[in-house]
């Protein structure tokens, strides 16, 4: 390598070392190896070199070009690593600091109740399933054995949406039961799921909101019986209301998608609102053994599979549990109400604390 190239290399060396950021490095690269970079121009001028020296000079130039390209790339990687390290140092979060609860944020009682349901049923082996708020009338009604002109379709004050999906009318789901259908269609039994979520009915007064919440439950296996249903719901209600001796009553009822069907009542005092004693009964949820036709609609052979389902109103059990007697403030976002009835985000439901 002749003196001229040596000098160029030495110059590039110190320039490289001085490069402190990717932009300066890019400028240096363009100045040396770009289209009119110094090394590029030297290579271009190779033709003017005397033929006998050309080969040697060409090789030297090429070597220097490769060497510089590699060094520039290495320097670039160095700069990037340094930038990342600097960012990590600057944005460091000390995860060992104790939490600092802030007063201006609480978990809504509805969310809290659904979390508690997930915790209690989760401990019994139930997973949480979901479905969309906008359903089709087959999943909301038909597959659940509610025929076209059945009164339940009117009783539920259904919100129909314009347009169709796969030839089916679109509805805002009137209950969480279509998640039963979705779950059975999506995966083979055994099934144990709950499905908390929003539901809609065209109904609006002091005790009804057009949007409210339900929690569905579904268990399918080869040998589930009414006994399992009862045990499961009694355990749930006693844990949820933190009342180990809570009286629970099962009363024959009717739902098109369960057979037999049962309404579930808990003991309370109508006058004081106290749960667990007082001699009065309060209806709290619907339940039953999944109707064979519903199983068949989901491709399950009713001679092989059976199980139980239940559904309950989330607002209703929340109001009972916390002594809230008006439904409307649940949706009014009044901060005073939310601070009063809301829950700390830093204390999620824990089963060993009785949720
Ligand atoms: N879907 C019913 C309702 O909204 C409740 C229910 C669910 C009843 C599952 C039985 C079984 O009233």
Q: Alpha helices of the chain — where are they, by DSSP H? A: 3-18, 22-33, 38-44, 51-90, 109-123, 137-140, 151-155, 178-186, 226-240, 292-297, 314-322, 335-341
Look over the chain and give the mean of its residue pLDDT values, rounded to a whole number. Answer: 92
Which ligand 1 atom is nearest residue 285's CA?
A: 5
**Of 68, 57, 55, 90, which is closest to residue 8 (Cα–Cα)?**
68
Q: Whose Cα sits closest to atom 8 in ligand 1?
A: 286
Pocket lining for ligand 1, CB < 6 angstroms: 175, 177, 216, 255, 258, 286-288, 309-311
The residue-averaged pLDDT of 142-156 equals: 82
Q: What is the pLDDT of residues 52-74, one digit of tens each?
A: 888 888 899 999 999 999 999 99
Q: Where are the domains of the chain?
A: 3-90, 109-353
How far, in Å, is the centroid of ligand 1 from the Cα of 46? 87
What CATH number has the domain spanning 109-353? 3.30.930.10
State the pLDDT confidence band at 1, using cuts at 50, 70 and 90. Answer: low
Q: Which of 117, 184, 311 to mutate to test the pocket of ligand 1 (most atoms within 8 A of CB)?
A: 311
Strands 280-290 and 191-200, how do they pair? Answer: unpaired
The residue-averaged pLDDT of 217-243 equals: 97
Helix (H, G, I), strand (E, B) or coil at 99: coil
Q: What is the pLDDT of residues 334-346, one digit of tens each?
A: 999 999 999 988 8
Q: Whose Cα sits closest to atom 6 in ligand 1?
A: 311
């Amino acid at each position: 390598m002749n003196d001229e190239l040596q000098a160029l290399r030495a110059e590039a060396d110190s320039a490289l070392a001085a490069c402190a950021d990717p932009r300066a490095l890019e400028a240096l690269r363009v100045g040396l190896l770009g289209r009119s970079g110094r090394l590029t121009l030297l290579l271009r001028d190779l033709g003017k070199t005397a033929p006998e020296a050309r080969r040697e000079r060409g090789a030297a130039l090429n070597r220097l070009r490769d060497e510089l390209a590699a060094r520039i790339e290495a320097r670039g990687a160095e700069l990037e690593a340094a930038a990342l390290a600097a960012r990590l140092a600057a944005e460091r979060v000390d995860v060992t600091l104790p939490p600092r609860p802030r007063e201006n944020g609480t978990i809504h009682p509805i969310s809290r109740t659904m979390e508690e349901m997930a915790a209690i049923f989760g401990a019994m082996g139930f997973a949480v399933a979901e479905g969309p708020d906008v359903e089709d009338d087959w999943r909301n009604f038909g597959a659940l054995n509610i025929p076209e002109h059945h009164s339940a379709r009117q009783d539920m004050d259904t919100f129909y949406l314009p347009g169709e999906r796969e030839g089916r009318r679109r509805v805002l789901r009137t209950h969480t039961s279509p998640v039963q259908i979705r779950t059975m269609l999506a995966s083979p039994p055994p099934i144990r799921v709950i499905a908390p979520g929003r539901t809609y009915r065209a109904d609006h007064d002091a005790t009804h909101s057009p949007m409210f919440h339900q929690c569905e439950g579904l268990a399918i296996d080869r040998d589930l019986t009414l006994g399992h249903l009862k045990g499961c719901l009694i355990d749930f209600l006693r844990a949820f209301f933190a009342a180990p001796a809570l009286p629970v009553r099962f009363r024959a009822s009717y739902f098109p998608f369960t057979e037999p069907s049962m309404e579930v009542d808990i003991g309370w005092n109508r006058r004081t609102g106290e749960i667990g004693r007082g001699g009065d009964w309060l209806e709290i949820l619907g339940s039953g053994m999944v109707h064979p036709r519903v199983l068949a609609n989901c491709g399950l052979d009713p001679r092989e599979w059976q199980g139980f389902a239940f559904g309950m109103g989330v607002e209703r059990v929340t109001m009972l549990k916390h002594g809230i007697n008006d439904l409307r403030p649940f949706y009014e976002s009044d901060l005073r109400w939310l601070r009063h009835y809301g829950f700390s985000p830093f204390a999620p439901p824990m089963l060993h604390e009785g949720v």
